[in-house]
Amino acid sequence: MARSLLDKLRALEQSVRGVTGDPVATDDNPSMSGDHCKTSACTPRDEELLEAGFRQVATDAGHCWCRTTSFDVFTKHGERPFLDVFDLDLAPVAKLAKAPIAIANLRFYDTETNGLGLGSGTLPFLHSVGYFIDDEFCVDQYFVDDYGAEGAVLAAMEAGPLGDTETVVVTFNGKSFDWPLLQNRRVLHQMPRIERTQLDLLHPSRRLWKDVLGRVSLAEVERLLGVTRMDDLPGREAPARYFEFVGGAPFSVMEDVFRHNLHDVCSLVGVLIAIAEALSGHAVYMATRPNLAIATWFDAWHDWEAAANAYRRAVVADDADWRAFWLFSLFLKRRGLWDEAVRLWWEMAESYPQQPEPLVELAKYYEHRAIELHAAKQATSLALERVQRASRAEAALLHRLERIKRKLATMTRVDLA
């Protein structure tokens, strides 16, 4: 049975405008509150949630409900135990997050909502936060059991798992959706924004596995990592289940939603492990694109040795393509590794007979660095055969060719003198 209308109005008034009567006592550790009602009397709905394993969390904005699920770190999710996270080299991942990272500060965050927008009509009715403590991986699931309880949920998370300013929030598309939505809801309840370091795993997942997966969703990445869901509720059905619940249906209609969401949070750990191992070199990829993604990351971070190694793995892969060779050649040029760059440009000129770019780079090298003008003239002439007539590229090459010819003529006159 749902709360009475009077209870809902009182809770809404407290969560949005502040408590109008005596303040509600705040537990020193809201995430660890006892499994009993904090109010003077339990409603049938309260009793139902207690029976389902929830505990009541008291805040200055009222009370809310939270259920914690704990896993021993030896528990496997897919093919990997949670324990593997402790063996990771997190230094490259910290570069992705642009902040220091420690296992104890990681918070794996996911929500379930009644819609897909970021406007005031979209309510995240379930907030789940996973974290490692001692020898367990724990997931706190904060439930907005009716609309008036949202303020208490937001306050409880700030006082609990999201309270540390050193927290790193790990999400999958959360930087664009879950986290902005959380901030919008806090603004709606006249609460200050929570500024925390973000580590969104969607973007590195796309760079590593887009060519393999096509559509990079959490479900697709799970399959790549050997995670299989049995009897999983599709996420699109979660809003309908929630509307049933707030309409008076028993909590049992929500169990599949909670299980789906719990699975999402656990999968975030697996995705983090895979990305961290890719960046540390512990995972070996035979395809070009993952190695190219790793190379461009290290290139941007000025870790030249790691970048060079990843570029070389990319160009020797069976599916190596023009882009891999081209980016590697530009890397070699920037690093001043001219002998290797020149060899690669000649190989590319032969392997890609329609592309003028490697010949243009060779012309530049021979004219300005090696000062081998005949070789520069040859490379420029070959490049001209590969560009469209009356194009800007042709005009630029003709200009280069004329300049080289003038230099050659000057050298000839000097030799004759």
Give per-residue pLDDT as tens, 372-398.
999 999 999 999 999 999 999 999 999
* 2 has a pLDDT exceeding 50: no
In this model, does residue 32 exceed pLDDT 80? no
Tokens encoding 276: 């961290």
Residue 151 contacts by C-beta under 8 Å, 6 or more apart in sequence? 11, 12, 14, 15, 16, 61, 62, 189, 191
Cα radius of gyration (the chain): 30
Candidates 304, 368, 372, 382; CA nearest to 337 is: 304
Q: Are 38 and 26 in contact (CB under 8 A)?
A: no
Band the pLDDT of 212: cuts 50, 70, 90.
Answer: confident
What is d(CA 191, CA 208) in angstroms, rounded to the nearest whole number? Answer: 38
132 near 105, Cβ under 8 Å?
no
Q: Which of 286, 290, 341 is nearest to 316 (CA)?
A: 286
CATH number of 5-280: 3.30.420.10
Output DSSP code: residue 389.
T
- For 239-294, the pLDDT digits (tens) are 999 999 999 999 999 999 999 999 999 999 999 999 999 999 888 888 999 999 99
Q: Specify the fold of 288-416.
A: 1.25.40
The mean pLDDT of 394-414, rounded to a whole number, is 90
Give me 18's structure tokens: 């502040």
Q: Within 13 Å, how many C-alpha atoms sit on residue 177's CB side?
A: 18
| pLDDT at 416 > cutoff 80 | no
3 — pLDDT class (breaks 50, 70, 90) = very low
DSSP H helix total and E strand total for the chain: 16, 9
Residue 117 has pLDDT above 70, yes or no: no
Burial of 138 (0-12, 13-18, 19+ CB in 10 A): middle
* DSSP secondary structure code for residue 369 in this structure: I
Tokens of 408: 């050659």
Give CA–CA dist 375/313, Å, rounded. 30
Q: Is the pLDDT of residue 208 over 80?
A: yes
Comparing 5-280 with 288-416, is the CATH topology the same?
no
Beta-carbon count within 10 A of 72 CB? 11
Domain ranges (residues) in the chain: 5-280, 288-416
What pLDDT score was predicted for residue 415? 60
Distance CA 409, CA 415 (A): 10
Spatial distance between the Cα atoms of 162 and 131, rounded to a whole number of angstroms:
10
DSSP 231: S
What six digits make up the tokens of 87?
Answer: 């063996």
Q: Are strands 106-113 and 168-171 parallel, antiparallel or unpaired?
A: parallel
CA atoms in the 13 A half-sphere facing the CB of 407: 16
Mean of pLDDT over the chain: 89
| Burial class, 286, CB count within 10 angstroms (exposed 0-12 / middle 13-18 / buried 19+) | exposed
